[in-house]
Structure 1
């Protein structure tokens, strides 16, 4: 082990920072020592920059904005009123990540550089080895569920590691947990998202387009059934001012996590859609071609469609929404159905997936206890925790 790595490990184990001398610490250095250092990988990306914007304004946090392009990272840092040195070049695929984390004095890592569907846990493993907490915004079903394989290592290093700190499953599970006590038996969880005009980042679109038209399993009426990405077309009536939106089936972590978390549930489905009906129907039609074997994948369309959606943005509704619909038996034994909605206007919808990472990072910075170990991001936040991180935006819930 290199000497500087060993020094950092010793410092973490003794609760001290390296690079300081006892009895010879300036006020500025002492203040920095008492701050929680958070590195956001992908910090100038679609979700990463939004997270950085919130954390840069949070007391007690020393923020580092990381990405492969140092110029872009420094530009974001300066734009947020930070020192340019807080924008750094770092590659999530580098082999020396653990050493970099130690050298930077990182307490927590937020990984936003997707898509996660084809990634391994190298970043999380490096964070654990460096004694740092780890949070990611992964939406890949297997990636999020599989984070538990790092649980023993995370417990041994006494760090908090979670995957899926986003709308799914962090917010969706918080909604179910809030209303679970109103049911004597919960049978069905159906939920979905209709986006506004602001399209998600290219990495997110690539993650979704990768499984369009391809089969995956979900629980329906007590049986695991096969559906296909972006098919199973339906039109969901969101509350006004959003209105009806086309939605298609999506492969998300909730489909495997919820049947485990809520024993007895017989149906778990998730659907999503674009604000533009023609855009949604185009992707639906392309997914049909994959189903029929006429296209191997629509992944090559992600880049062009992302560019087109940005161009069309002024002509599409700036409002989006999320719903969670629960069905079962109420406490009186009678059938009960509860519908929860979250509505975003002014193209503020893309801030919603950032809420969990912001809320968790702020808890860590305040010294609040979070469990040691590695786990999907379920049961870690309440709805109130989540939405408090988004209170600056035009985002409002409609409770069931």
Structure 2
């Protein structure tokens, strides 16, 4: 793919919850010509002004436009970062457009089927000589990097349990629509060597995080790792993921609502997403600003003895929402720096190390607790 003196990166949904954070980081890189795109040109222009960018670096772009590939080519985009979720139910129109324009593609998707299925574009991406990856976020980019780091300690890794407890800062409305879309709905996960059915935001449990986070309620979530990890780590018998909110009462409310969906008393929580988002924003000053992530692994160590270890990442000052942005930032910096990333389409695993990921979060109150 032809290169230019500066690497042009378009952040689609660049003024959104995660997009803004990515743009704030990339705007300081002199090797990057940053474009902020989305349906609302006024919002894009306001962010561009805040970041000291030129007015023409803010664009009105519809991700669903039939001529998106032609638009990307005309803009000479080298890499597109797609943050405009929710990804559950989306197709690969944006990724296909990027490939058609000869541009690399990175997304922050958290939809299980969306991330796991990105490989269907592998042949096209290889033909065009571009890098295409999905799930460049906490899951599976960071979670798999953690497992990859510690896997050599195991003769046989049998269990991966992981989860995230958020801080007070409410995610974007699109993110909430995605994660609440499967509240009370059934999905499959691997437990003790068998595929079992659980339900979104049920399977209530409490996990002990490092201080100052402490114990948090968590519920089961349908994430890409549940599909990807059993294939990536042969011999693993259990893969689970749970997530929870900073407010215990808020989490228990969602748990109870998910029960109503499971019992078919409620059809879904779709109608509650917008009011819950507003309420969470109002309650933010009264809820903990601290969140955390954990990855717990069990199996047989290289010495033949049982081995159990746990890695954690703790965030304060409501800096937790920056963590999902780390992979896209790290990958963008690598591409802008001329580093060759693999051609083809793949879930975001085996591309970044934990160190790569955390380097993109320097300056934020994020602390690693290594196993």
**Class of the TM-score when normalised by the shorter of the 2 chains:** over 0.9
Is 1:246–1:273's contact at 8 Å kept on the other side of the alignment? yes
Structure 1: distance between partners of 2:358 and 2:158: 27
Q: TM-score scaled by structure 1?
A: 0.92
- Residue aligning to 1:261: 232
Q: Note the 1:13-162 alignment, pairs <5 A.
A: 15=2, 33-162=4-133
Structure 1: distance between partners of 2:272 and 2:144: 32
1:37 offset after TM fit, Å? 0.1
Structure 2: distance between partners of 1:201 and 1:398: 27
1:84 offset after TM fit, Å? 1.4
- Residue aligning to 1:316: 287
Q: TM-score scaled by structure 2?
A: 0.99
Is 1:75–1:84's contact at 8 Å kept on the other side of the alignment? no
Structure 1: distance between partners of 2:341 and 2:78: 14
1:58 offset after TM fit, Å? 1.2
- Residue aligning to 1:327: 298
Structure 2: distance between partners of 1:311 and 1:96: 40
Residue 187 of structure 2 is aligned to residue 216 of structure 1:
yes
Which of 164, 168, 173 aligns to 2:135? It is: 164
1:59 offset after TM fit, Å? 2.3
Residue 190 of structure 2 is aligned to residue 202 of structure 1:
no
- Residue aligning to 1:292: 263
Q: What RMSD, in angstroms, separates the aligned Cα atoms of the two structures?
A: 0.7
Instruction: Mark the runs of 5 or more structure 2 residues left unpaired by the alignment.
Output: none
Instruction: Mark the runs of 5 or more structure 1 residues left unpaired by the alignment.
Output: 1-11, 17-32
- Residue aligning to 1:371: 342
1:93 offset after TM fit, Å? 0.7
1:268 offset after TM fit, Å? 0.1
Larger CA Rg, structure 1 vs 2: 1
Structure 1: distance between partners of 2:40 and 2:10: 15
What's the secondary structure of 1:297's corresponding residue? Answer: coil
- Residue aligning to 1:174: 145
What's the secondary structure of 2:117's corresponding residue? Answer: helix
> Where in structure 1 do 4 or more consecutive aligned residues deviate above 2 Å?
none
Count matched residues: 371
Structure 2: distance between partners of 1:45 and 1:312: 21
Residue 370 of structure 2 is aligned to residue 392 of structure 1:
no
Is 1:39–1:109's contact at 8 Å kept on the other side of the alignment? yes
Residue 215 of structure 2 is aligned to residue 244 of structure 1:
yes
1:166 offset after TM fit, Å? 0.1
1:80 offset after TM fit, Å? 0.4
1:299 offset after TM fit, Å? 1.5
1:217 offset after TM fit, Å? 0.2
- 1:10-38 CA distances to partner (integer Å, 9 max, x unpaired)? xx5xx37xxxxxxxxxxxxxxxx400000
Structure 2: distance between partners of 1:140 and 1:215: 15
Structure 1: distance between partners of 2:334 and 2:202: 39
Residue 268 of structure 2 is aligned to residue 280 of structure 1:
no
Is 1:64–1:88's contact at 8 Å kept on the other side of the alignment? yes
What's the secondary structure of 1:40's corresponding residue? Answer: strand
Is 1:195–1:275's contact at 8 Å kept on the other side of the alignment? yes
